[in-house]
Chain A
Amino acid sequence: MMDPTTILTLMNAAVAQAPEAATSAATGIAGADLIKAGALIGAGICMGFGAIGPGIGEGFAAGKACEAIGRSPQEAGLLTRTMLIGQAVSESTGIYSLVIALLMLFVIG
């Protein structure tokens, strides 16, 4: 049975050695570079794919609003307001993606 302090010391040593071990890997690509590259591509994937849903969803809402205004133009104000509220909710996931992408670019990367 190993003493807990010894385990802690061994773990600390392993963590301290980890970056050097990664740098000297046979591929010639440093571990730190790989992590940063992952964050950069991740930011792109996050914003790129994250923008698909809000774009289509907001367009769908606006299309239905146009259709409804064509049928009853006297309710245009009410319909536009409802459209904008619905779009704002749909937009929220796009803003989440933007926040996470910016985090990956400037905080993690």
Chain B
Amino acid sequence: MELEPHTWLILGKFAGAGIALGMGGIGAAIGMGNAAGMANTAIMRQPKVQREMLRTMLIGQAVGEGAAVFALVIGLFIIVVSPANLELIGGNYFAALLGAGLSIGFGTFGSGLGCGWPAGNACAGFARNPARSPKLTQSMIIGQAVAQSPSIFALVVSLILILTAKNGTDLPTMGIYISAGLAMGVSALGSGIGSGKTAGGAVDGIGRWPLSYGVTLRTMLIGQAVCETPAIFGMLVAFIMVIAPGDLNPGILGFAQVFGAAIAVGFGGIGPGIGSGLTAAQGCAATAARPDKDALILRTMLIGQAVSQSTAIYALIIALALLYVVG
């Protein structure tokens, strides 16, 4: 396509910032609404400790809202960014801005949504057992911090895309930038939801059985680490696309190679991320209820998560085959 440099730049700014803020806002908004809803139910049950519940809800919402703030920062950066050689800008720069928007938009969706569950369950735990508040708040913040990590991966990839974009217009390079953003963002979506679900299950269990705090927290961290695998695969593919793309075919074939790889590893990561989270959430709740059987539950949880991750590994294999074998 023959477009003027200025047109490419403005198109990239509109597309990138729009997707960043549009997608990035959805998850945090749903998650924080969920937290506030559960806080209301909890306050209805125990109006005496409403002040503590409100404080915990606000802390939890502030951490969860961080995901949307990342999207806002990248969106504003995309709008104000001004490259050095304005007259050399082409389709590649447009693709880099669009890819950055895809990365941060989809990447913060999952974390924002996921952070709602621990915040809401912490408030529900207060209603059950007001005396244990510090441990609940503590486990909520630890769980949310881990659930935020996919959105931090997405932030890193979108900054790399904006800052290293090349000049000119060629289809394979445009494909690399769009695909790197898509691979990172969409794969982070599942991991964020899964890690958040895990933290929610752990906080719920600690609220019901406060004495098994330590062992539940350990199971939560192991479960969340497995949930992060698809996001790490996505980040790996995004990095190798930008740094060492291999011998891509010229023209539309090269574009198809990288775009296909991004769809495989990105969307392929959603299911395993959410599925591992569903497993780990129940594993944490079960560990809290039966801390004496923690090793047995942890073993079953890890086997289940490993099987659930297998499809993410198939997706990674297909993505790597598209990038390096099909050439």
- Spell out A's residues near B (CB within 8 Å): 29, 33-34, 36-38, 40-45, 47-67, 69-71, 73, 76, 79-80, 83-84, 87, 91, 94-95, 97-98, 101-102, 105-106, 109
Contacts and interface: CB of A to CB of B under 8 A. Distances in A.
Contacts of A91: 307, 310-311
Contacts of A71: 286, 289-290
A33 to B, nearest CB: 5
Looking at chain A's contact residues, the main secondary structure is helix
A40 B267 contact: no
Given A70-B287, A70-B297, A79-B300, A33 B276 contact: no
Contacts of A80: 300, 303
B281 interface: yes
Contacts of A73: 290, 293, 296-297
Contacts, number: 207
Given A33-B252, A47-B318, A73-B290, A84 B303 contact: yes
B260 A45 contact: yes
12 contacts: A37-B252, A38-B256, A47-B264, A48-B263, A48-B315, A51-B272, A52-B271, A54-B308, A62-B275, A65-B300, A70-B297, A76-B296
A66 B311 contact: no
A44 B275 contact: no
Given A51-B267, A63-B278, 15 more contacts: A40-B253, A40-B260, A41-B259, A41-B260, A44-B261, A44-B264, A54-B271, A55-B273, A55-B309, A55-B312, A56-B278, A59-B279, A63-B304, A70-B290, A97-B311
A85 to B, nearest CB: 11
A6 B22 CA distance: 60
A30 B312 CA distance: 33
A87 B194 CA distance: 18
Contacts of B190: 55
B318 A98 contact: yes
B215 to A, nearest CB: 12
Interface stretch (B78-86, B97-105, B120-128, B319-327): B319-327
Given A47-B315, A56-B271, A70-B285, A62 B304 contact: yes
Interface residues of B, number: 61
Contacts of B276: 55, 59
Given A40-B260, A43-B260, A59 B272 contact: yes
Contacts of B307: 58, 62, 84, 87, 91
